[in-house]
Amino acid sequence: MAAPMRITILSRNRSDVYCTALKQAIACRLITNQNTIPKKKNKFIDSLRIYVRGGGGGQGFPRYGGIGGKGGDVVVTATKKLTLSDVRNNNIKKRFLAQNGLNSRKFRLLGEPGEDLNIPVPVGVVLRTDEGRQLGDLNKDGQQVIVARGGKGGNPENGFLGQRGDSKEITLDLKLIADIGLVGFPNAGKSTFLSAISRAMPKIAEYPFTTIRPQIGIIQYPDFRKISVADLPGLIEGAHNNYGMGHKFLKHVERTKMLIIIVDINGFSLGVKHVHRSAFENILLLNKELELYLPELVDRPAILVLNKIDTDNQSGDTVKQILQQVQNSPDSLNEVDKYMHPTTLMKFDGIFTISAKEKQGLDKVLHAVRQKLDHYAELKRPEIETEVEHVHYETLTKTLI
């Protein structure tokens, strides 16, 4: 069925009106002939707001004490190989309604329950209500959460009146899961680095914001060990004040186990009108942006990568100076304006100098990344074991009582 047409009158001239109407009719036809929105089809999205409603409960049958069927629940299930765009394209209206329970009838006193509605979503989705209440954090394939319960069927307690199902708007917020998060200002060489170390093929260009969506690359080691790295684009000074893309992409950092902070040894400036920042200032500003976004990110294991060493002079003076400043901090903070000082300085597990473009120094970074990840995984293990023992002990005491 064709969608209702709205004709805008742009001009008083009759032939013009006719022309516009014709054009709109053609456009309308083209759109209604397709089931999906063509333009947005493959656009990457990492946030989607949907409406969910549990099914209503069926009516009871007071005369015979009949009970109405319970309404179906709306369930969200984490599913591999799915994107949020898929979720949207499968239900463009973004309304997810579970089935109602059936009424109690004379020959079927127990009304049948309504069917649950399952919404498959990508792994890594956090679900929130408009009031900010978290309903679930689905980071494993198959994990499920009920987001809207179906109403109870009519029964003696509710005067045999079926209850309405829960209904609400919820936001699905996708946070990528990668082992490593690549954090740096535009032009630092994140995309170049990612394509040099992994199989990803991100866009590389000479102007800021070349990457508008996070890219994930997989480093594959000779023994087939795989480590995933996410390039988190768009971070600029003042992102916490929503400059540039603000912290839009930083949420993807939350789930990474380790950070690689990458800076251009020549410093960076967003454009001619912006102040030029030295590499050391950039390191502090990145530290500060991370801290302002989420204070605990500053404690996350991190390594520092100084990129573009091929542009340094023969004796490597620029690199030497940056290394000195980093190693002598907090004393060296005196050289930098106070407003750039973070509250807590990040401690780097290693500092590396590379040229992503010339593929220099990459092996050392890759070796360190693996070693550090294993080291921190090893540190975490005893905690998990004691937790298990603790639970076991509690269950035991409960059984004994």
Residues 350-369 within binding reach of ligand GDP (CB under 6 A): 355-357
Q: Is 55 in the site for ligand GDP (CB under 6 A)?
A: no
Binding partner of 325, given Mg ion, ligand GDP, none, CB within 5-8 angstroms per partner class: none
Q: Is 187 in the site for Mg ion (CB under 5 A)?
A: no
Indicate the pairing of strand 302-307 with strand 351-353: parallel
CB of 355 to ligand GDP, least distance (A): 4
Whether the CA torsion 316, 319, 321, 327 is positive or negative: it is negative
Helix then strand then coil, % of the chain, to nearest 5: 30, 20, 45
* Residue from 55, 68, 162, 186 binding ligand GDP (CB under 6 A): 186
Per the CB < 8 A criterion, the answer to whether 151 and 165 are in contact is yes
Residues 113-172 within binding reach of Mg ion (CB under 5 A): none
* Residue from 59, 79, 85, 211 binding Mg ion (CB under 5 A): 211
The region of 38-46, 210-218, 249-257, 313-321 touching Mg ion under the rule CB under 5 A is: 210-218
Q: Where are the beta strands (DSSP E) in 238-376?
A: 258-264, 302-307, 351-353
Q: Using CA atoms, how far apart are residues 350 and 371, in angstroms rounded to an integer?
A: 11
Indicate the pairing of strand 74-79 with strand 144-148: antiparallel
Binding partner of 205, given ligand GDP, Mg ion, none, CB within 5-8 angstroms per partner class: ligand GDP
Binding partner of 53, given Mg ion, ligand GDP, none, CB within 5-8 angstroms per partner class: none
CB of 362 to ligand GDP, least distance (A): 10
Angle between helix 317-327 and helix 279-293 axes, rounded to 10 deg: 40
For Mg ion, which is the closer residue by CB, 128 or 190? 190
Whether the CA torsion 77, 82, 85, 91 is positive or negative: it is negative
Q: Using CA atoms, how far apart are residues 356 and 173, in angstroms rounded to an integer?
A: 32
Q: Is 311 in the site for ligand GDP (CB under 6 A)?
A: yes
The region of 1-9, 54-62, 179-187, 328-336 touching ligand GDP under the rule CB under 6 A is: 179-187
- 368: tokens are 């360190």
The region of 28-36, 204-212, 244-252, 315-323 touching ligand GDP under the rule CB under 6 A is: 204-212
* Residue from 88, 152, 190, 247 binding ligand GDP (CB under 6 A): 190
* Residue from 83, 210, 269, 332 binding Mg ion (CB under 5 A): 210
Compute how many other C-beta atoms are within 10 angstroms of the C-beta atom of residue 279: 22
The region of 7-15, 162-170, 203-211, 376-384 touching ligand GDP under the rule CB under 6 A is: 203-211
Q: What single-letter DSSP state applies at residue 93?
A: T
Q: Is 240 in the site for ligand GDP (CB under 6 A)?
A: no
Q: If DSSP codes are grouped into helix, strand and coil, which group holds residue 147?
A: strand
Q: Is 210 in the site for ligand GDP (CB under 6 A)?
A: yes
The region of 187-195, 242-250, 322-330, 340-348 touching Mg ion under the rule CB under 5 A is: 187-195
Q: Using CA atoms, how far apart are residues 120 and 48, in angstroms rounded to an integer?
A: 13
- 325: tokens are 């400043």
* Residue from 5, 10, 201, 205 binding ligand GDP (CB under 6 A): 205
Full strand arrangement of the beta sheet holding 134-138: 95-97, 47-53, 167-174, 125-129, 134-138
Q: Is 191 in the site for Mg ion (CB under 5 A)?
A: yes
Q: How many residues bind ligand GDP (CB under 6 A)?
A: 20
Q: Is 215 in the site for ligand GDP (CB under 6 A)?
A: no
CB of 287 to Mg ion, least distance (A): 20
CB of 187 to Mg ion, least distance (A): 8
Q: Using CA atoms, how far apart are residues 342 and 333, in angstroms rounded to an integer?
A: 10
Q: Is 214 in the site for ligand GDP (CB under 6 A)?
A: no
Q: Using CA atoms, how far apart are residues 6 and 31, in angstroms rounded to an integer?
A: 14
Q: How many residues bind Mg ion (CB under 5 A)?
A: 4
- 26: tokens are 């053609």
Q: Using CA atoms, how far apart are residues 205 and 187, in angstroms rounded to an integer?
A: 8
Q: Is 357 in the site for Mg ion (CB under 5 A)?
A: no
Q: Which amino acid is at 200?
A: A
Q: Is 228 in the site for ligand GDP (CB under 6 A)?
A: no
* Residue from 211, 256, 325, 353 binding ligand GDP (CB under 6 A): 211
Q: Classify burial at 374, counting beta carbons within 10 Å of its beta carbon; exposed 0-12, middle 13-18, buried 19 or more.
A: exposed
Contacting positions for ligand GDP (CB under 6 A): 184, 186-192, 204-206, 210-211, 307-308, 310-311, 355-357
Contacting positions for Mg ion (CB under 5 A): 190-191, 210-211
